[in-house]
């Protein structure tokens, strides 16, 4: 308990640099630069690896700090990535020469930021609280099940990375194309993102079903823990494909600034479906299998809700945040007037997908959480 308190006390210091990095990385991805955030995170990871043993065991003038040293290494690495990302954004945007504009408080922009960001923040709060409730249920089955699910959770995290990366790409591409008045491209972006993401996840699901023991044994050699992890992975991997589809579909909503529906989807899938099922099934003869069965329902429910809302097209009615002196327009409309003066470079937002189709954003979509 003392080690946990020491770690958490230091780790919370890193919340601010973590926020700075996430914000600046989002700005860069919105500008179509997804490489720089990856580089900065890579540099921070290398630094963290170097600092961990130094701060845990000590070296020369650096005292041995034990568990707290791990937290300090993480915080320093987070601050390093935040400085790199912020410096890159400032240099790229020319903010140094516009300090007066930077210092001036913009109430309207703040209102829009809170309007879009608050539901997303509340959604993550729901997810964190839900994970605590589910973990408390898992803990009742003993340390072996906890260790097995932790090992399986590592595999799960790696399996989710492609889907999450494509979801971020969908967010950036959706924002760029809606801002350029090209909502017709969004359907192609979603179609190919869902196809690529679900195909990748399907392969990972097959691997997880075929050799779960081999995967779990990477993290532990305890036979009982491996058995528990295999059970976990075989159930949870069934949700890889729907999770991938859900993340791509939600990327459209985030790119359109329509974050409130995602909040309610999480509320429904996690708190009205998953947690009640986990609680009830865990008390039946299914035991811990009931927990995994209840847990894997989440991605399916989230995917269905996301798909229904995406097909409704309501996200297209959200106003685009305009630049100084411009008016806000519906992203799916060519407003005419001053907007007609946009040159072809501004209108033709480059994307890496075959976006020749001219149908609406709801045409020809495939049926596609992590909560």
* pTM score, whole prediction: 0.68
Q: For 277-318, write each residue's pLDDT tens digit.
A: 999 999 999 999 999 999 999 999 999 999 999 998 888 876
User: Contact, 133 vs 274, CB < 8 A?
Assistant: no
So where are the chain's domains?
1-104, 120-371
Q: How many CB atoms lie within 10 A of CB 250?
A: 27
pLDDT in tens, 109-158: 778 778 877 888 888 888 889 989 999 999 999 999 999 999 999 899 88
- CA neighbor of 141 nearest in space, from 29, 12, 286: 286
* Burial of residue 109, with CB atoms counted within 10 A of its CB: 0-12 exposed, 13-18 middle, 19 or more buried: exposed
Phi, psi of 345 (to 5 degrees): -65, -40
Which token pair is 240?
A: 């890889």
Packing angle, helices 223-236 and 143-179, rounded to 10: 30
Buried b (16+ CB within 10 A) or exposed e, 197-223: bbebbeebbebbeeebeebbbebbebe
Q: List the one residue out of 240, 202, 203, 217 whose CA is nearest residue 152.
A: 217
How many angstroms separate the CA atoms of 225 and 227, rounded?
Answer: 5
pLDDT number for residue 14: 87
d(CA 71, CA 3): 11
Q: pLDDT tens track of the chain, all 371 residues?
A: 677 788 888 888 888 989 889 888 888 877 778 788 889 988 999 998 899 888 888 888 888 888 888 889 999 999 999 999 988 888 776 655 554 555 566 777 778 778 877 888 888 888 889 989 999 999 999 999 999 999 999 899 888 888 888 888 898 888 888 877 888 888 899 999 999 999 999 999 999 999 999 999 998 899 999 999 999 999 999 999 999 999 999 999 988 888 888 889 989 999 999 999 999 999 999 999 999 999 999 999 999 999 999 998 888 876 555 444 444 444 333 333 333 333 333 333 333 333 333 333 333 333 344 44
pLDDT for the residue numbered 305: 95
Neighbours of 224 (CB within 10 A): 14
């Amino acid at each position: 308990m003392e080690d946990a308190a020491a770690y958490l006390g230091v780790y919370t210091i890193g919340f601010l640099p973590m926020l700075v990095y996430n914000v600046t990385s989002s700005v860069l991805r919105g500008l179509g630069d997804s490489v720089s955030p990856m580089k900065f995170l890579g540099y921070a990871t290398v630094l963290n690896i170097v600092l961990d043993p130094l701060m845990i065991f000590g070296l020369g003038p650096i005292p041995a700090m034990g568990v707290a040293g791990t937290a300090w290494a993480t915080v320093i690495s987070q601050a390093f990535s935040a400085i790199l990302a912020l410096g890159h954004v400032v240099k790229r945007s020319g903010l140094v020469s516009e300090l007066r504009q930077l210092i001036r408080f913009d109430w309207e922009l703040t209102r829009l930021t809170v309007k879009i960001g608050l539901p997303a923040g509340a959604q993550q709060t729901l997810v964190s609280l839900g994970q605590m409730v589910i973990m408390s249920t898992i803990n009742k089955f003993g340390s072996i099940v906890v260790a097995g699910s932790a090992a399986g959770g590592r595999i799960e995290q790696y399996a989710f990375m492609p889907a999450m990366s494509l979801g971020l790409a969908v967010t950036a591409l959706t924002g760029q194309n809606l801002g350029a008045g090209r909502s017709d491209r969004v359907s192609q972006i979603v179609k190919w993102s869902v196809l690529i993401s679900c195909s990748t996840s399907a392969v990972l699901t097959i691997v997880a079903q075929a050799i779960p023991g081999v995967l779990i044994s990477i993290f532990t050699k305890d036979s009982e823990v491996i058995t528990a992890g295999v059970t976990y992975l075989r159930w949870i991997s069934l949700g890889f494909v729907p999770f991938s589809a859900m993340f791509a579909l939600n990327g459209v909503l985030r790119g359109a600034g329509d974050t409130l529906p995602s909040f309610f989807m999480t509320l429904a899938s996690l708190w009205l479906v998953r947690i009640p099922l986990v609680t009830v099934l865990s008390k039946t003869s299914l035991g811990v299998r009931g927990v995994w069965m209840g847990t894997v329902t989440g991605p399916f429910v989230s995917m269905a809700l996301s798909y229904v809302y995406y097909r409704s097209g309501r996200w297209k009615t959200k106003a685009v945040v305009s630049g100084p002196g411009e008016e806000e327009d519906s992203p799916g409309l060519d407003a005419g007037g001053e907007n007609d003066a946009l040159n072809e470079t501004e209108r033709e937002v480059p994307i890496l997908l075959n976006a020749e189709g001219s149908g609406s954003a709801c045409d020809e979509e495939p049926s596609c959480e992590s909560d």
